Amino acid sequence: MSAERILVAMSGGVDSSVAAALLAEQGHQLIGATMKTFCYQEEPGPSRTCCGLDGIMDARRVADALGIPHYVFDVEEEFTRDVIDDFVSEYARGRTPNPCVRCNSNTKFRDLLRRGALLGCDAVASGHYVRAGVVDGETALFRGRDPAKDQSYFLWGLPRALLPRLRFPLGELTKLEVRARARELRLVTAAKPESQEICFVPTGDYRDLLRHRLGERHDALRPGNLVDTRGRVVGRHQGYASFTVGQRRGLGGGFDRRVYVVEIRPGTREVVVGAREALECRELRVGELNWLTARPPSDGTVVRAQLRYRAPAVPGRVQHAGNGLELELEEPVLAVTPGQSAVFFDGTGRILGGGRIATAAMAGGTADGLAEAAASRARADRPALR
């Protein structure tokens, strides 16, 4: 590849640091960029994440070591609208969001490409573990070579038109190789630990954010009943926003066997619990679709579907329905969770596209229950954010 002028997303972590270093070695002209995504002074707690103030300073140190300019872009307004507001709204609806998908799809890459163009850049690069290639003349994204770090699950929402202008230098590397390269280059981020928490929840408890944004009296944070799959009351909870489908901890004692969250019903504030087998799912509906291929899979096509980060992909048959699709799985999957992503791959590991899980037909009930969905949505969708 000929030398390019590239804007590199630098979070202050080891991955983006090595991505920048590798591109510099290849002779590209680089500009480092770190995104300030939220106001660090409004929430209590230390700045521990790669997106926090420490991350900005580490990114600047790496940029200085590589001899490249570094900018900080304030995207707090966009990030709040696209990511934080959505995060809060989804929990209010009894769903489990994935903010990293929203950030990549709606804020990070779009904004970096726009700002990069103003700086005369040809492309944008990041430290994601995903591979890019060309198939039948169009840019395609594939799983990263390291299965333990593959991050393709988080990129299904990218606009297809942007793919030719994205660069992913780490796609062929393993995490161990990236760490080793960082040590060789004496980068300050070489031994920096992985960031596990949600970047905009510095306290480590997302319910603090929900209480701040929704208010203590919101239905999602008020007590309600634990019910079994037959509708019998078996206990109480302190707010359905504390639960996600498949969760076992935090349900209290007194059960004669292990029980799990099978469904969340925001309309009645009920959390449905049941045995592990009640979590088995073979059919689900997916909405908010985005395709990274010119021709989406046709009805009846069998794709590989990944329904949760770190979960293995399973074969499923596609049937388009309105603005979404129905996916019939060839084998049961446990705890398919509304609000999470369903990402579709072909047999080569190419990302075909994805969407948000709307409903899942569980053996012990329907997650995001269809029977009460219309009534509960009318309540949960009312403006409640502060």
Catalytic annotation, residues: 103, 199
Separation CA 218–CA 216 (nearest Å):
6
Q: Would you put residue 263 in left (φ > 0), alpha (ψ -120 to 50) or beta?
A: beta
Separation CA 27–CA 203 (nearest Å):
41
Query: Tell me, what amino acid is at 258?
Result: R
Contact 20, 63 (CB under 8 A): yes
Give the pair of three-digit tokens for residue 284.
Answer: 């689900």
Residues present in the chain in total: 386
Separation CA 364–CA 279 (nearest Å):
6
Separation CA 337–CA 335 (nearest Å):
6
Per-residue H/E/C for 179-204: HHHHHHCCCCCCCCCCCCCCCCCCCC
- Give the count of beta carbons closer than 10 Å to the beta carbon of residue 183: 12
DSSP-assigned beta bridge partners for residue 32: 8, 70
Q: Which value, to the nearest 10 degrees, does the dihedral of the CA atoms of residues 152, 157, 163, 165 take?
A: -100
Separation CA 313–CA 157 (nearest Å):
18
Find, among 155, 126, 105, 97, the residue nearest to 13 by Cα: 126
What per-residue string of b and e applies to 320-349 under the rule 16 or more CB within 10 Å gives b? eeeebbbbebeeebbbbbbbbbbbbbbeeb
Separation CA 6–CA 31 (nearest Å):
6
Q: What is the CA radius of gyration of the chain?
A: 22
